[in-house]
Structures are given as C-alpha cells and as structure tokens.
Amino acid sequence: MPEFKYSFKGYDPMVHVRASGREVDVSPKAAREICASIKGMKLAQAKKFLEEVVKLKQPVAFRRYKVKVGHKSALSKFPAGRYPKKAAEKLLELLENLGGNADFKGLDSERLVILHAAASRGRKVKSHVPRAFGRSSPSFNTLVHIELVGREV
C-alpha cells in the first residue's frame, strides 16, 4: 500500500484541517481547473459554486487547458470555460469531508477558508481497445490525487 503525503508545507494540526481524495477517476485537467477556482474561497461559498457547476448554471474558467474550449457568457474575467460535472461532484464530496474533519477537530466550518487546493496525476490504468483485423490499441485512464487544506479565519 503506498503512503501518500500532502504537498502543503507548514501544516499545523492545531490550526489547519485537511482532506484528500486519492486515485479519483476524474479528468486531471478539469480537477486542476476546479482546484484553481475554489482556492481562497470560504467552504460554504465553494460548495455553492460546485453545486452550481453540477446544475450547469456556473461554468469553471479553463485557464491552462483552453485550446478549442468554448467561451461562456457567465464568466467575467476569463472567457473560456466548461461545466466539468463529474469532477465537481467528486470535489463536492471532498469539501463535505473537509467540513466534517473541521467539526471533528473543534473548528468552525462556517469560517473555514480553503488555503490549498491541488490536483495531481496519479497512476495510469492500462487497458486495450479492440480494432479491426484482430488488432488492439492501448488505452490509458489517468487517475487523480486531490488534496484540500483549510484554515479557520
């Protein structure tokens, strides 16, 4: 069993609370863009934002992975965006976990601010796709590690 560590430096267990999702089956690009969007938000604000993304009401700005991404009129500062529903649902579960961890530690989850939100590529699951004439092509599915760290303000 691998031993995972957090990339957040300066962790103080008395002040910070953290949650992680390891080897989550979502798009690494979408997870990265959602993490960039919710970083710095309060917990309730981030939950509301992700619920709006799941309902296809609020798009997520795609800043790095923006080639051939349509523009959304609901975005103000950056035009390109999408509605990554599956990744938003998984991050919403992680935010619930972060709030539960804060309550368990005795911190006020209403005043919790997300200091660190990161998504990194995990292991690749290899499979094969059958092709014509008895051939096959390799197909890779990349899993994602997501980490969240919050602090009561």
Q: What is the pLDDT of residues 47-82, one digit of tens each?
A: 999 999 999 999 999 999 889 999 999 998 889 999
CA distance linking residue 27 with residue 18, whole number of Å: 22
pTM exceeds 0.85 for this model: yes
Q: What is the mean pLDDT of the chain?
A: 95
Alpha helices in the chain (DSSP H): 28-38, 43-54, 85-105
Model confidence band, residue 3 (pLDDT cutoffs 50, 70, 90): confident
Which pLDDT does position 142 carry in this prediction?
96
How many Å separate Cα 117 from the centre of its chain?
7
